[in-house]
Amino acid sequence: MSLATYADQFRRLKVNVAHGRASPHKICMLLAVLDLARGGALTENRIEYAPPLLERYAMYFNAVRGPGDHPNPYFPFFHLAGSLRGGGDSFWHLQPRPGRESVFESMSTARTARQMTENIDHARLDTELFELLQDERAVDALSAVLAETWFDRGLRDLDAVVGRTRQINHYERALRTSNSPALIAAEAAPSYVRDPAFRRVVTEIYDFRCAATGLRLVLPDGAAMVEAAHIHPFSEAADDDPRNGLALTPDMHWALDRHLIAPDTDFRWRVSSSLDRRIPDYRVLTELEGKPLFLPRDARMYPKREAIEWWLAVLLR
């Protein structure tokens, strides 16, 4: 199937329009998928109901939500699989979890995030559409179709958001795909582009789990309680290589920035001698001494030695 075929299908989405305003749910979910593709994060035909998708969906939805709108991302995730306006099958297909096929077949809608995650493993696109989305020109063309069809129906603010996020997507793709990610900062991207792109890549590498405590707290809307911390600060190294990053909860990020904790080259935590081990209030940090980091599944993305050695030199001064 051609790009023109999918452009036509995007125009024929079943979207409620009331008082000249289109319901934003399906549009925002598709924009989130296109955002994943443009940022280099859609590398397999498997769209999970998880933070990488849901955070993007929330960003678009919050740009246009009205007083009575509720994000409910499980609703468009489920109903994009329905038929198109005027008939015809959708390009969006849901895969039930093993053993939940009969429950899935009985579902006419999804009413909660729990109902979604318990019964549906992932969504997949038509193979031809997935392959098209590996080409940024096709992603831009389909984004333009959404703009032409739906942004003039009360969703005009989405156009501005798409324009802003395109810069973030380009930097994110560079972080994911560059053979020399340490050199990417030479592009001198502004912080409002660099920061969200670096956060997306690093927190995803660590599966949204704190490298110090192991805490993985993800809310139903996809928000995760981890931040992306530079090991060697960007202000000194100008290095956005994801291997110069750690996913940390805000308190552990604070402790790293203040030279109280640091990883060593054996990927174990070291704690500053300035923290008196006898003081109970410091225990949350002092008990990290010698404990292994929670590391990415992919060993190629482990923290790089040069960054760790710089930080250890600071910690042990």
Each residue of 142-172: pLDDT tens digit?
Answer: 998 988 888 777 677 777 788 888 899 999 9
Specify the amino acid at residue 262: A
Same domain, 129 and 33: yes
User: Mind listing the pLDDT tens digit for each residue in 3-18?
Assistant: 999 999 999 999 988 8
Mean pLDDT of 124-136: 96
Same domain, 57 and 126: yes
Look at residue 146 and tell me if it is in a domain. yes
Q: How confident is the model at residue 185 (pLDDT cuts 50, 70, 90)?
A: low
Mean pLDDT of 281-301: 95
Give residue 162's pLDDT: 82
Look at residue 129 and tell me if it is in a domain. yes
Instruction: With a cut of 70, say whether residue 227 has pLDDT above it.
Output: yes
User: Mind listing the pLDDT tens digit for each residue in 68-105?
Assistant: 888 899 999 999 999 999 888 999 999 999 999 999 99
What's the mean pLDDT when you consider all of the chain?
Answer: 90
Give residue 179's pLDDT: 63
User: Mind listing the pLDDT tens digit for each residue in 244-268?
Assistant: 999 999 999 999 999 999 999 999 9
Same domain, 14 and 163: yes
Range of the domain at 52: 3-173
Same domain, 199 and 169: no
Look at residue 307 and tell me if it is in a domain. yes
Distance CA 83, CA 101 (A): 20
Same domain, 159 and 220: no
Last residue of a domain, one of 122, 145, 173: 173
Residue 28: what are its φ and ψ, rounded to 5°?
Answer: -65, -35
Same domain, 208 and 159: no
Specify the amino acid at residue 308: I
Look at residue 183 and tell me if it is in a domain. no
Give residue 28's pLDDT: 93
Same domain, 92 and 240: no
Last residue of a domain, one of 173, 201, 230: 173
Other residues' Cβ atoms within 10 Å of the Cβ of residue 29: 25
Look at residue 181 and tell me if it is in a domain. no
What is Dmax (Cα atoms) for the chain? 72
pTM given for the model? 0.90
Tally of domains in the chain: 2
Last residue of a domain, one of 144, 173, 202: 173
Distance CA 84, CA 79 (A): 10
Specify the amino acid at residue 275: L
Same domain, 54 and 155: yes
Same domain, 209 and 169: no
Q: How confident is the model at residue 282 (pLDDT cuts 50, 70, 90)?
A: very high
What is the rounded end-to-end Cα distance, in angstroms, of the chain? 62
Instruction: With a cut of 90, say whether residue 66 has pLDDT above it.
Output: no
Structure tokens at 124: 């997949």
Assess contact for 169 and 35: CB atoms under 8 A. Answer: yes
> What Cα–Cα distance (Å) separates residue 22 from each residue in 60, 156, 167, 220, 274?
14, 10, 26, 24, 58
Instruction: With a cut of 90, say whether residue 315 has pLDDT above it.
Output: no
- Concatenated DSSP letters for 44-58? SS-B-SSHHHHHHHH
Give residue 187's pLDDT: 55
- How large a percentage of the chain has pLDDT more than 70? 96
Same domain, 161 and 306: no
Mean pLDDT of 111-136: 94
Specify the amino acid at residue 70: H
Residue 304: what are its φ and ψ, rounded to 5°?
Answer: -85, 145
Same domain, 91 and 130: yes
Give residue 20's pLDDT: 78
Assess contact for 209 and 174: CB atoms under 8 A. Answer: no
Same domain, 149 and 60: yes
Look at residue 264 and tell me if it is in a domain. yes
